[in-house]
């Protein structure tokens, strides 16, 4: 009657990097509940607690079948007392009281909404929350001085909280390729992050750039950024230089998990209609890049259905699909970001463009009402300017033919490429587990730059991810199974 009792006797290794964790798994209800508690712990800056919930969720994601009863969990690692309690509650009652309380809490909703603004972390969001700022529009009204990232985050709030589709990622990839090849022929561009793990949507698009002739990649990022900027592809960018070489600590003892590659956090302006694509930037004619443009038209097709998408009907339908599902699963506040976290199969055919209309597009608030939210509703008189962030542009001048997309670019020297690739493919928990395994089980230090053997006091070279897993004494886990 209860298939899967044998789970209890199956031995499951305790580090996520020892397990295969596919994108689609059998325990979504349980992992969603745990991930809300993890989010809440992280928003409360209780990292340890957050990791405990994430490890428990990752364990469930790796199981070969659905857990039906708590007795099936006996002997499994990674399940702490608290996580077990939540799992049992969900298995028995369908919901966890703690999860329900959390998702309905004003603080949690506000923290999710505020940290959903690009450039806003938990600390800042908490400070604002305690000042009575609960939503992006509260923030807009508050007159707070915002930094450049936060201003862009507020301006493009809705769009940046809409999942980026795979085809949008491909279109961005072609732009990045054009830019990189224009300034450094022979450079190699690799799609990393969630899309490399097989996700169909993401909160951003991540690329790793290198060149087979070591040294040629030095100083590449500013050139790429200049090219993109000149073509009108960038709405925002912040480039940080390579500080690895100057660092006194050496790679074995990184100051933090932040690595030191040349890196660019950006917001791209991606064209979303066919007509617009012919001159993606509006300046293509000047530069005569017909080839590039032609390719974009072909590959962009799925997402670039042009006018229809902008009619508002499509958009509403999209939202309803999302909303309906959220209601079904009883997780009203989870849109946008949450959807990106492992429910791609359901969202793959979801809305594929931003909403330029005045619908409820706030992804962090209850969607169980068919009525738009107040802050997105009122666009009259004095309010017109104040709610302009909802539209993602400063004038209410009708539909627009592009959307904003978060893009991360990283440049790595060729000799570090395998480490960078492994370190930037994720998932975040998988990476954390790899480093924990290296330190505790192998007396090694792993970073996105290198692997250091502390017993043999030497760096271990690798030109592929497979070699790194081998150095670590781990079975090779392919990207699609790193969705811990």
Q: Establish if 479 lies at the interface with Mn ion (CB under 5 A).
A: no
Nearer to ligand GTP, 58 or 86 (CB): 58
> Contact with Mn ion (CB under 5 A): which of 39, 168, 204, 217?
204
Question: Which part of the chain contacts ligand GTP (CB under 6 A), choosing from 291-299, 355-363, 392-400, 424-432?
Answer: 424-432
Question: Which part of the chain contacts Mn ion (CB under 5 A), choosing from 84-92, 117-125, 201-209, 221-229?
Answer: 201-209
Closest approach of Cβ 408 to Mn ion, in Å? Answer: 4
Q: Establish if 262 lies at the interface with ligand GTP (CB under 6 A).
A: no
Q: Establish if 168 lies at the interface with Mn ion (CB under 5 A).
A: no
Q: Establish if 335 lies at the interface with ligand GTP (CB under 6 A).
A: no
- Does 349 qualify as catalytic in the annotation? no
Cβ atoms of 121 and 129 within 8 Å: the answer is no
Of the candidates 39, 138, 158, 204, the residue annotated as catalytic is: 204
Q: Which partner from the list Mn ion, ligand GTP, none does 427 bind, CB cut-off 5 to 8 Å by kind?
A: ligand GTP
Q: What is the 3-state secondary structure (H, E, C) of the chain?
A: CCCCHHHHCCCCCCCHHHCCECCCCCCHHHHHHHHHHHHHHHHCCCHHHHHHHHHHHHHHHCCCCCCCCHHHHCCCCCCCHHHHHHHHHHHHHCCCHHHHHHHHCHHHHHHHHHHCCCCCCHHHHHHHHHCCCCCHHHHHHHCCCCCHHHHHHHHCHHHHCCCEEHHHHHHHHHHHHHHHHHHCCCCEEEEEHHHHCCCCEECCEEEEEECCCCCCCCCHHHHHHHHHHHCCCEEEEEEECCCCCCCCCCCCCCCCCCCCCEEEEEEEEEECCHHHHHCCCCCHHHHCCHHHHHHHHHHHCCCCCCHHHHCCHHHHHHHHHHHHHHHHCCCCCCCCHHHHCCCHHHHCCCCCCCCCCCCCCCCCCCCCCCCCCHHHHCCCCCHHHHCHHHHCCCCCCCCCCEEEEEEEEEECCHHHHHHHHHHHHCCHHHHHHHHHHHHHHHCEEECCCCEEECCCCEECCCCCHHHHHHHCCCCCCCHHHECC
Q: Which partner from the list ligand GTP, Mn ion, none does 461 bind, CB cut-off 5 to 8 Å by kind?
A: none
Nearer to Mn ion, 193 or 413 (CB): 193
Of the candidates 126, 138, 158, 206, the residue annotated as catalytic is: 206
Nearer to Mn ion, 163 or 356 (CB): 163
Question: Which part of the chain contacts ligand GTP (CB under 6 A), choosing from 55-63, 120-128, 202-210, 381-389?
Answer: 202-210
> Contact with ligand GTP (CB under 6 A): which of 31, 271, 304, 340?
340
Question: Which part of the chain contacts ligand GTP (CB under 6 A), choosing from 10-18, 102-110, 373-381, 418-426?
Answer: 418-426
Binding-residue total with ligand GTP (CB under 6 A): 18
Closest approach of Cβ 47 to ligand GTP, in Å? Answer: 14
Taking the C-alpha atoms of residue 359 and residue 357, their distance in angstroms, rounded to an integer, is: 6
> Contact with ligand GTP (CB under 6 A): which of 50, 153, 202, 318?
202
Q: Establish if 427 lies at the interface with ligand GTP (CB under 6 A).
A: yes
Nearer to Mn ion, 203 or 277 (CB): 203
Q: Establish if 482 lies at the interface with ligand GTP (CB under 6 A).
A: no
Q: Which partner from the list Mn ion, ligand GTP, none does 403 bind, CB cut-off 5 to 8 Å by kind?
A: none
**Contact positions vs Mn ion (CB under 5 A):** 193-194, 202, 204, 206, 408
Instruction: List, by residue number, the catalytic residues.
Output: 204, 206, 408
Enumerate binding residues for ligand GTP (CB under 6 A). 193-194, 199, 202-204, 206, 258-259, 340, 408, 423-424, 426-428, 431, 448
């Amino acid at each position: 009657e209860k298939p899967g009792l044998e789970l209890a006797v199956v031995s499951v290794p305790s580090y996520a990097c020892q397990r295969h964790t596919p994108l689609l798994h059998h325990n979504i209800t349980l992992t969603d509940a745990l991930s809300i508690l993890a989010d809440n712990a992280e928003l409360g800056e209780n990292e340890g607690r957050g990791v405990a919930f994430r490890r428990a969720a990752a364990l469930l994601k790796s199981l070969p079948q659905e857990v039906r009863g708590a007795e099936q969990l006996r002997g499994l690692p990674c399940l702490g007392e608290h996580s077990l309690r939540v799992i049992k509650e969900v298995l028995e009652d369908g919901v966890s009281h703690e999860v329900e309380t959390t998702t309905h809490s004003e603080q949690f909703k506000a923290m999710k909404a505020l940290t959903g603004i690009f450039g806003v972390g938990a600390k800042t969001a908490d400070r604002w929350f305690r000042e009575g700022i609960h939503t992006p529009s509260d923030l807009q009204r508050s007159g707070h001085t915002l930094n450049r990232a936060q201003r862009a985050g507020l301006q493009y709030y809705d769009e940046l909280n809409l999942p980026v589709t795979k085809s949008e990622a491909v279109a961005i990839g072609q732009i990045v390729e054009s830019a990189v090849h224009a300034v450094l022929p022979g450079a190699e561009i690799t799609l990393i992050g969630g899309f490399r793990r097989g996700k169909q949507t993401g909160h951003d698009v991540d690329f790793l750039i290198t060149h087979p002739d070591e040294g040629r990649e030095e100083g590449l990022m500013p050139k790429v950024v200049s090219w993109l900027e000149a073509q009108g592809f960038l709405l925002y960018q912040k480039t940080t230089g390579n500080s690895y070489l100057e660092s006194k600590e050496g790679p074995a003892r990184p100051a933090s998990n932040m690595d030191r590659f040349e890196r660019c956090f950006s917001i791209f302006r991606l064209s979303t209609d066919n007509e617009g694509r012919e001159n993606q930037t509006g300046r293509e004619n000047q530069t005569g890049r017909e080839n590039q443009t032609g390719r974009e038209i072909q590959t962009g097709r799925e997402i670039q259905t042009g006018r229809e998408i902008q009619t508002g009907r499509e958009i509403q339908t999209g939202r309803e699909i999302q909303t309906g599902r959220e209601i079904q699963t009883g997780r009203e506040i989870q849109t946008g970001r949450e959807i990106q976290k492992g429910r791609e199969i359901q969202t793959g055919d979801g809305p594929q463009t931003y909403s330029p209309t005045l619908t409820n597009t706030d992804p962090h608030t209850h969607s169980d009402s068919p009525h738009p939210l107040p802050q997105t509703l009122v666009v009259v008189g004095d309010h017109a300017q104040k709610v302009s962030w909802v539209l993602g542009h400063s004038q209410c001048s009708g539909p627009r033919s592009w959307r904003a997309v978060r893009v991360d670019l990283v440049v790595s020297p060729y000799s570090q490429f395998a480490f960078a690739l492994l370190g930037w493919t994720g998932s975040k928990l998988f990476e954390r587990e790899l480093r924990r395994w290296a330190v505790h089980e192998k007396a090694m230090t792993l970073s996105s730059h290198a692997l250091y053997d502390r017993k043999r006091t030497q760096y271990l070279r690798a030109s592929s991810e497979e070699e790194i897993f081998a150095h670590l004494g781990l079975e090779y886990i392919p990207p699609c199974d790193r969705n811990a």
